[in-house]
């Protein structure tokens, strides 16, 4: 039997075949074309397995023939249809088995056929890549079969013309189809394959024969090719976020670009990167995508082995901050690109934190690498660091935006400051305006907070001190000019450095840094008007004089003595140090940073002894006077510490200290601020606000004295607190050092505004909305006079919102403070000057009598023990019978006293405001008999207490200076009872929005009394027997009863107009009872 292996241009395929035997022993010449007909009943069946160079897939055969046999010039015309169908009809398995041969043929055709055929071949390559990927599924973005091919099998076409090499053709055709949005490139994931092929082809073209001439690097590739490559980058990245589902197709561009630095002109590679970054930056739709791709490219760039030389780290000079970035981009493009990208991540506003963290992480990474490179000497390290200098400016411009990865930002910031040349820093510093210099110092200040406990803190402190020394040497004269804002900021930094707890850091701060600063700025500290700098360092130095570490105390004591000497040398006296050291101690006491001060006393004594031995007698005496004033202030502090359990006593001491500095207004203001802060800690917001108002009044007096035209004066604050008017003002002009006022911003219009604003906020917290509205009115006048209409509009808005709060709180029934009369007895109170003294205490509305009693027990039991404290009744006290080792306290609830004729007190607030008289009422019976409950016999004792000042005030305890008592007869008691009821009714009648519940309770208590005697009973007792009582009382009672009846009628009418239907039955009952009551009153009074 026989069959043809090759027939009709086809080789036999692996299949099952059936043959029929023949009987002839000699076959004809054409036997392979003849079909045997004999013995068909004896078929012979077999399966073939041929080993041959011919493919089994006939479509693959068609493709191979089309590629190889058709001449170049008619390739497309003759085989366009067969080529397309053949390639796409090849089975996936067959294509994978033969993809190496197919790709080789396609690459060859792309580089040797005419342009249209080359495009078809390029599309064929893309088709093969996609098919192999889909057929052999792998999770990796770099398919192992394709990766192996491009690395180990792919060889650029050798007989291609110079301008038809693989890299030329791939780039040109890739651009062609991208521009036409060919479907093959939708979600195409094999950029890496084409880029690797391009790189390999470029390398072969350069190095196949001999090493190319480096001096001719710019001409290694044609202008046409470089233009196509640039266009390819633009096409790929302009709409990349739409074309690709993920970032995977772009993961190889960083490697590709890095490889190009070896193969092409590096300037051109920078242009390519610029093209990519520009295209990505213009993409506003997916900033995360753009930032991620750029960071990948930057990562490859900074880890390129020749990264530093690429940046040309030569000495640079800064002649202008505005042109600095452009200058650095021209000289140090890679580093500038990184800095620009970091700045862009900040400028984008809602940029995700991860993008910002990634870009700053790249900078941190390369800086860390530079730091670890020990091969660089100091000059070279300075030049390398300088390439990142624009980052310093970026941080200053965007410091408010730095939130995520803040530590990394600041570490990079300080690395550059530490390692770049001092010359460069000083050149830059000279070019910056003062505002930016202040911003720079603010960043240094913030860094001290961020790294307060970090291992970097010592190094950062050292860098800051070195910088301030450099800048001081650079602009010594400029810094000391009046109104220069930079020097105060520097002293703030110095104060922060002095607040560090580490002796290692503080020893460097004190010497030599602070000694240098004191030497350079001695005139600023001791002669110029601004005293804030002197105060700032005195606070911390005196605090260190009280530290347990003996080494630190010695440093601080020496520095304090140096300040005294410098003050004496510059001014011929130590007046500045006298005032500022006192202010410093006052602040430390007021801020509770000086609890125990035995060590401070020791330090001051050592300074006194040293002065006696080392300076003249006259100068030593001056120093002793200064120290004695500090000792006196410490004694005040001792009193505060001893009475810390008694908040009212502490407030009294604070106030007493402030008044003791009448001739030192700055110190007085300091202690009023201390008192305000203390009140805030106790939630006494109203008193805290009035301390601010007291300061504001002093500022107004000072501004008036200096001929400032203000729309307000001291009297303007009477509506806030009449008692403030009684506080002493300023000393006479001749007694004041004008420089003390100029040194403190509080004595300016802005200081006045700040005080009033702070007071307003505190008044709102205290729910004293009426007073807050008065303060808003004052602020409105001030802002109108300064033409600050922006702030004026803001405060008018606040005025409106506070008015609404007032209305709402009155609807709900606002609660006002409670008042208590407290009297003290006991020999143990002699040292506090309180034995026999009486006070009115103002307390929150929630503090009832039992709570008040417990508070006083808690306070004074800490002084003498609970067993030696006794609360006694409100009766006359025989002091001779009191035990000397005990404290006795009388407590009584009192209310504000006002006569019925005082129409100004027609609301709860106005009853409270400006109250300086308080009343305590108790039942009274003449003689020693039992108290009578019958109205006809019931007398009342009224004890009226008058205080030295009125509430509200800067203290919530006022001493009683006068007491009077009135005994009311039964008829007078009845008249007053009715008057009180009339006053309460009128409060609701006059209210803008009456309270239904309160009104109905008043009506019920007036018309249907359940506890006290009602008006009918009063008529029956006193008017039925008129001849038993004085005529004047009878007539007064009649008038009051008639007025009571009229007011009840008005109240009923009001009640009917505001109640809902479910209350109508109750109203009708009240109305019926009122008619009966009115009839009886008319019978007795007409």
- DSSP states along 372-433: H-TT--HHHHHHHHHTTTHHHHHHHHHGGG--TTHHHHHHHHHHHHHHS-HHHHHHHHHHS-
Give residue 84's pLDDT: 60
DSSP, collapsed to helix, strand or coil, labels residue 965 as strand
- Burial track 227-239 (b if 16+ CB lie within 10 A, e otherwise): ebbbbbbbbbbbe
* Cα gap 668→662, rounded to integer Å: 6
pLDDT recorded at residue 137: 74
pLDDT, tens digit, for every residue of 94-150? 888 888 988 998 998 888 888 888 888 899 899 888 888 888 776 666 678 888 898
pLDDT score of 77: 46
Query: Burial letters for 838-876: b for 16+ Cβ neighbours within 10 Å, e otherwise?
Result: bbbbbbeeebeeeebeebbbebbeebeeeebbeeeeeee
User: Would the pLDDT of 661 be above 80?
Assistant: yes
pLDDT at 939: 81
Does pLDDT of 300 surpass 90?
no
- What is the mean pLDDT of the segment spanning 511-516? 92
Asked which of 770-774, 801-805, 929-933 is least confident by mean pLDDT, the reply is: 929-933
pLDDT of residue 1069: 92
Q: What percent of the chain has pLDDT over 70?
A: 91
Region 801-827 average pLDDT: 90
Average pLDDT value for residue range 707-711: 89
Closest CA to 670 of 605, 787, 584: 584
3-state secondary structure of 526: helix
- What's residue 76's pLDDT? 46
Q: Of 466-480, 507-521, 1012-1026, which range is least confident? A: 1012-1026
Place of tokens 């203001």: 669
Total H helices, total E strands in the chain: 47, 11
| pLDDT reported for residue 35 | 65
Across the range 1073-1085, mean pLDDT stands at: 89
Cβ atoms of 957 and 839 closer than 8 Å: yes
Given the structure tokens 């009821």, which residue do they identify?
981
Query: 289, 333 in Cβ contact below 8 A?
Result: no
Look at residue 33 in the predicted model and tell me its pLDDT: 72
Q: How many CB atoms lie within 10 A of CB 314?
A: 10
**Cβ atoms of 759 and 776 closer than 8 Å:** no
Residue 794: what pLDDT? 84
Which pLDDT score, from 0 to 100, does residue 156 have?
85
Mean pLDDT across 664-675: 90
Mean pLDDT of the chain: 86
**pLDDT beyond 70 at 522:** yes
Alpha helix ranges (H) inside 21-161: 58-69, 75-89, 92-97, 99-112, 115-135, 144-148
Give CA–CA dist 799/783, Å, rounded. 14
Q: What's the average model confidence in pLDDT over 346-370?
A: 79
- Closest by Cα among 351, 224, 822 to 341: 351
Quote the tokens at residue 644: 């810390």
Task: Quote the CA–CA distance of 1066 and 996 in Å, as a whole number.
Answer: 13
pLDDT at 938: 79
Question: What is the pLDDT at residue 929?
Answer: 43
Report CA-CA distances (Å) from 701 to 38, 359, 694, 716.
Answer: 138, 56, 11, 12
What is the DSSP secondary structure assignment for residue 155, as one 8-state letter?
-
Average pLDDT over residues 817-830: 92
The answer, yes or no, to whether residue 517 has pLDDT greater than 70, is yes
693 contact partners, CB below 8 Å, separation of at least 6: 717, 720, 721, 724, 755, 756, 759, 775
pLDDT over 90 at 494, yes or no:
yes
Counting Cβ atoms within 10 Å, is residue 620 exposed (0-12), middle (13-18) or buried (19+)?
Answer: middle
Contacts of 208 (CB under 8 A, 6+ apart): none
Q: How distant is the alpha carbon of residue 497 from its chain centre?
A: 23
Give 763's pLDDT tier (boundaries 50, 70, 90).
very high
Confidence of residue 86 (pLDDT cuts 50, 70, 90): confident
State the pLDDT confidence band at 857, using cuts at 50, 70 and 90.
very high
Average pLDDT over residues 738-761: 86
* Owner of token pair 């590739």: 221
Q: Which of 5-14, 410-419, 786-795 has the highest mean pLDDT?
A: 410-419
For residue 890, list its beta bridge partners.
823, 872
Cα 376 from Cα 381, distance rounded (Å): 6
The pLDDT > 90 percentage for the chain reads 39
Least confident of 201-210, 335-344, 521-530, 769-778: 201-210
Summarised one tens digit per residue, pLDDT across range 884-923 is 889 999 999 999 987 656 666 667 888 889 999 999 988 7
Which range, of 277-281, 341-345, 1008-1012, averages the lowest pLDDT? 1008-1012
**Exposed/middle/buried for 904, CB within 10 Å: 0-12, 13-18, 19+?**
exposed
Torsion sign (Cα): 764, 769, 771, 772: positive
Give the mean model confidence (pLDDT) for residues 370-381. Answer: 88
- Phi and psi at 995, nearest 5°, equal -95, 120
Instruction: Supply 965's token pair.
Output: 């008592």
Average pLDDT rounded to a whole number, residues 456-472: 93
pLDDT tens column, 208-243: 767 777 778 888 888 999 999 999 888 888 766 555
- pLDDT value of position 864: 85
Residue 570 has pLDDT above 80, yes or no: yes
pLDDT > 60? residue 927:
no
**Whole-number Cα distances in Å, 619 to 43, 572, 615, 698, 745:** 137, 10, 6, 34, 31
Q: What is the pLDDT of residue 691?
A: 97
What does the pLDDT look like over 382-423, one tens digit per residue? 999 999 999 999 999 888 888 777 889 999 999 999 999 999
Rounded Cα distance, 445 and 377, in Å: 31
Question: Would you state the pLDDT for residue 830?
Answer: 82
Q: Is the preceding omega at residue 157 within 30 degrees of 0, hence cis?
A: no
Say which DSSP state 208 is in. Answer: S
284 vs 379, residue with greater confidence: 379
Q: Which two tokens stand for residue 389?
A: 């200098």
Q: Which two tokens stand for residue 533?
A: 């700098």
Please compute Rg for the chain using Cα positions: 48
Q: Which residues, in sequence order, are bridge partners of residue 824?
A: 889
**pLDDT value, residue 73:** 41
């Amino acid at each position: 039997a026989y069959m043809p292996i090759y027939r009709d241009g086809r080789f036999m395929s692996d299949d099952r075949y059936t043959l029929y035997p023949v009987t002839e022993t000699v076959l004809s010449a054409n036997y392979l074309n003849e079909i045997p007909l004999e013995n068909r009943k004896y078929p012979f069946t077999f399966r073939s397995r041929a080993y041959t160079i011919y493919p089994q897939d006939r479509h693959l055969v068609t493709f191979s023939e089309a590629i190889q046999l058709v001449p170049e010039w008619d390739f497309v015309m003759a085989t366009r249809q067969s080529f397309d169908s053949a390639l796409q009809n090849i089975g996936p398995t067959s294509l994978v088995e033969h993809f190496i041969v197919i790709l080789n043929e396609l690459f060859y055709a792309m580089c040797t056929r005419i342009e249209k055929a080359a495009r078809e071949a390029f599309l064929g390559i893309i088709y093969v890549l996609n098919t192999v990927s889909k057929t052999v599924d792998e999770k990796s973005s770099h398919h192992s079969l394709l990766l192996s091919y491009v690395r180990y099998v792919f060889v650029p076409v050798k007989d291609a013309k110079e301008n038809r090499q693989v890299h030329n053709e791939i780039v040109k055709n890739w651009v062609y189809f991208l521009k036409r949005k060919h479907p093959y490139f939708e979600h195409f994931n094999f950029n890496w394959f084409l880029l690797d092929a391009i790189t390999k082809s470029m390398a072969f073209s350069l190095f196949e024969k001999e090493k190319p001439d480096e001096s001719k690097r710019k001409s290694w590739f044609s202008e046409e090719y470089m233009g196509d490559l640039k266009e390819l980058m633009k096409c790929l990245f302009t709409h990349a976020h739409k074309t690709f589902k993920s970032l995977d197709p772009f993961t190889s561009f960083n490697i590709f670009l890095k490889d190009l630095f070896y193969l092409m002109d590096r300037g051109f590679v920078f242009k390519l990167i610029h093209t990519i970054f520009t295209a990505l930056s213009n993409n506003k739709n997916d900033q995360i995508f753009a930032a991620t791709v750029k960071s990948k490219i930057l990562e490859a760039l900074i880890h390129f082995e020749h990264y530093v030389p690429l940046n040309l780290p030569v000495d640079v000079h800064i002649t202008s901050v505005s042109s600095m970035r452009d200058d650095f981009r021209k000289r140090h493009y890679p580093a500038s690109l990184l800095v620009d990208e970091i700045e862009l991540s900040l400028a984008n506003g809602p940029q995700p934190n991860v993008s910002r963290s990634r870009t700053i992480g790249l900078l941190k990474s390369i800086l860390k690498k530079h730091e670890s490179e020990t091969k660089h000497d100091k000059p070279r390290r300075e030049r390398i660091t300088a390439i990142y200098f624009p980052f310093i400016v970026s941080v200053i411009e965007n410091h408010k935006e730095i939130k995520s990865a803040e530590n990394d930002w600041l570490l990079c910031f300080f690395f550059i400051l530490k390692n770049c040349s001092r010359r460069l820093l000083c050149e830059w510093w000279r070019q910056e305006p003062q505002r930016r210099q202040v911003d720079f110092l603010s960043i240094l200040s913030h860094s001290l907070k961020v790294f307060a406990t970090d291992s970097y803190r010592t190094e950062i402190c050292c860098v800051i001190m070195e910088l301030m020394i450099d800048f001081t040497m650079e602009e010594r004269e400029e810094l000391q000019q009046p109104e220069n804002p930079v020097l105060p900021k520097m002293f703030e930094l110095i104060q922060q450095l002095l607040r560090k707890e580490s002796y290692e850091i503080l020893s460097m701060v004190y010497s030599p840094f602070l000694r240098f600063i004191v030497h350079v700025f001695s005139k600023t500290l001791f002669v110029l008007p601004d005293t804030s700098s002197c105060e700032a360092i005195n606070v911390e130095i005196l605090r260190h004089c009280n530290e347990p570490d003996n080494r630190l105390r010695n440093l601080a004591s020496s520095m304090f003595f140096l300040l005294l000497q410098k003050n004496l040398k510059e001014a011929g006296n130590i007046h500045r140090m006298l005032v500022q050291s006192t202010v410093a101690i006052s602040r430390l006491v007021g801020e509770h940073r000086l609890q125990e001060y035995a060590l401070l006393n020791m330090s001051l004594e050592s300074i006194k002894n040293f002065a006696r031995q080392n300076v003249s007698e006259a100068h030593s005496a001056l120093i002793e006077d200064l120290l004695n004033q500090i000792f006196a202030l410490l004694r005040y502090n001792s009193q505060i510490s001893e009475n810390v359990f008694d908040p009212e006593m502490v407030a009294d001491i604070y106030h007493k200290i402030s008044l003791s500095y009448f001739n030192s207004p700055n110190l007085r203001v300091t202690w009023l601020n201390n008192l305000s802060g203390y009140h805030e800690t106790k939630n006494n917001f109203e008193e805290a606000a009035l301390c601010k108002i007291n300061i504001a009044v002093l500022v107004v007096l000072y501004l008036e004295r200096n001929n400032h035209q203000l729309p307000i004066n001291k009297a303007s604050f009477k509506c806030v607190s009449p008692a403030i008017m009684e506080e002493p003002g300023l000393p006479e002009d001749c007694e004041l050092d004008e420089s003390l006022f100029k040194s403190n911003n509080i004595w300016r219009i802005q200081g006045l505004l700040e005080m009033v604003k702070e007071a307003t906020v505190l008044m709102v917290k205290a729910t004293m909305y009426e007073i807050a509205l008065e303060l808003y009115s004052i602020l409105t006048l001030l802002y109108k006079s300064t033409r600050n209409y922006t702030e004026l509009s803001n405060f008018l808005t606040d005025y409106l919102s506070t008015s609404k709060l007032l209305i709402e709180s009155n609807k709900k029934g606002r609660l006002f403070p409670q008042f208590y009369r407290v009297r003290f007895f006991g020999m143990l109170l002699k040292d506090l000057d309180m034995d026999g003294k009486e006070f009115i205490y103002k307390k929150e509305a929630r503090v009832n009598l039992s709570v008040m009693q417990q508070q006083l027990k808690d306070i004074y039991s800490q002084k003498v023990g609970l067993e030696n404290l006794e609360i006694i009744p409100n009766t006359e006290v025989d002091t001779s019978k009191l035990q000397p080792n005990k404290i006795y306290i009388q407590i009584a609830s009192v209310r504000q006293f006002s006569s019925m004729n005082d129409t100004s007190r027609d609301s709860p607030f106005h009853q409270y405001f400006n109250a300086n008289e308080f009343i305590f009422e108790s039942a009274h019976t003449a003689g020693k008999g039992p108290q009578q409950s019958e109205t006809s016999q019931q007398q009342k004792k009224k004890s009226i207490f008058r205080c030295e000042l009125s509430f509200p005030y800067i203290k919530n305890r006022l001493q009683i200076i006068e007491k009077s008592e009135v005994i009311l007869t039964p008829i007078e008691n009845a008249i007053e009872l009715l008057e009180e009821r009339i006053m309460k009714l009128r409060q609701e009648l006059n209210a803008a929005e009456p309270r239904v519940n309160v009104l109905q309770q008043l009506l019920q208590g007036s018309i249907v009394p359940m506890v006290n005697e009602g008006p009918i009973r009063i008529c029956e007792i006193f008017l039925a027997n008129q001849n038993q009582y004085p005529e004047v009382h009878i007539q007064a009672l009649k008038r009051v009863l008639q007025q009571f009846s009229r007011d009840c009628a008005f109240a009923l009418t009001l009640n009917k107009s505001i109640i809902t239907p479910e209350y109508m039955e109750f109203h009708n009952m009240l109305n019926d009872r009122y008619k009966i009551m009115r009839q009886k009153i008319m019978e007795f009074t007409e």
